Amino acid sequence: MLKEIIARLKQGYRTIAFPDKAPPELPDRFRGRPVVDSSKCGSGCHACADACPVDAIDPATRAIDLGRCLFCTDCTDACPSGAITFTRPSGTAGISSLLPTGTKWYLPPNWTGA
């Protein structure tokens, strides 16, 4: 245990002064929060819900359970109309870790997290 403590002390701080400074640059692979544009969904289509490995998408309401979502993009790959996209704002992806499983968000596709 002493080795772990010494290693941690050598690492120093791992946080940034956010929001006092500009947010960090996000890598291209960063996905953000999944958003469903129901206007693009066909009647009776639930390809995204069928493709979800953790059943995070309710096929009846097309709501995504962010507490279960793995942010894996299987739903976007399966959607024939491109109705599911991922946002870029960094403030919205971390929210899902605070939500209990079963929490569903009904947010408009243009929501920016502000």
Task: Give the mean pLDDT of 6-25.
Answer: 74
For the chain, the domains span: 44-99
In whole numbers, what is the pLDDT of the chain averaged over residues? 76
pLDDT band (50, 70, 90) for residue 27: confident
The structure's pTM equals 0.57
Query: What is the reported pLDDT for 110?
Result: 53
| Residues paired with 11 in a beta bridge | none
Sign of CA dihedral 101, 39, 71, 111: negative
